[in-house]
A and B are shown apart, each in its own frame.
Chain A
Amino acid sequence: MSKQITVYRCENPACSLGTVGSPGLFTGGITADQITVLTGKPAEHLGASEHGDGVCPNCATPGKPEKE
């Protein structure tokens, strides 16, 4: 993995990423289509900040950047 890739930490305690109850790590972020798959919310009704880089692909909650 390149050092240029930002790693984010999901701090949603209910998120299954990592181990339940402890922060998991991810790169990139959820797509609008994935939010539709995850929540049923239509992609066209999503705001720009609700998806994309830094938004957890497992629970759609914004994550925090990690140092790597």
Chain B
Amino acid sequence: MLEHLRHRYEPDGLATPAERLFDAAIFPDEGLDIFLGQFPKDTTRLTTSYLCLFTSQTASTVITHAQALANVTETTYTSYARQAMATATWGALSEYSTTLGRQTTYPQITFPTVGATGATINGFFIGDATPPTKVVAQANFTDVTAVPLLTNDVIKVTPTVALLH
């Protein structure tokens, strides 16, 4: 589960996870392969991943498990660039939503200010490299609402990765 925390929707009184508004998120097959390569297998440690924005799918849907990078359209708004995420910078591991699992959150990431041409962003994905060869994970924003980026706009994303029990 990845979340765009700026749009987190957790009003008081919604006690159970089932009552929350969840965005769609997925670790596709090729993303799970990367996870399993890190543990328990012995694939070379992935020390940097890249946060990317996509315009394909919808604001509430992501690729299916068998789909891959070729099925994702990365945005090309003016001045856009993928942002590097170092493994050492991910936050302390903590409980995810009261005993559901464990999570880590990366510090807020700011993308380049939009230049002449904007785009409508449906969510974000983590790529294994730049340019990416695989999608590690893909998610919509937590409020399942597309973000129309216009000239001079800035989008900031705070990605969380959680593994559930």
Q: Do A and B bind each other?
A: yes
Using a CB–CB cutoff of 8 Å, the interface residues on chain A facing chain B are 1, 3, 7-8, 16-20, 22-31, 34, 37, 56-58, 68
A-B interface contact total, Cβ < 8 Å:
80
Contact of B89 among A3, A8, A19 (CB under 8 A): A19
The answer on a CB contact under 8 Å between B152 and A24 is: no
Question: How long is the Cα–Cα vector from A24 to B85 in the complex, in angstroms?
Answer: 10
Q: Indicate whether A26 sits within 8 Å of B116 (C-beta atoms), given known contacts A1-B131, A16-B110, A19-B108.
A: no
Question: How long is the Cα–Cα vector from A57 to B161 in the complex, in angstroms?
Answer: 29
Chain A contact residues: over half helix, strand or loop, or mixed? Answer: loop
Chain B contact residues: over half helix, strand or loop, or mixed? Answer: loop
The answer on a CB contact under 8 Å between A24 and B110 is: yes
The answer on a CB contact under 8 Å between B81 and A27 is: yes
The answer on a CB contact under 8 Å between B112 and A22 is: no
Q: Indicate whether A19 sits within 8 Å of B109 (C-beta atoms), given known contacts A7-B81, A28-B78.
A: yes
Q: Indicate whether A18 sits within 8 Å of B110 (C-beta atoms), given known contacts A1-B74, A24-B83, A28-B78.
A: yes
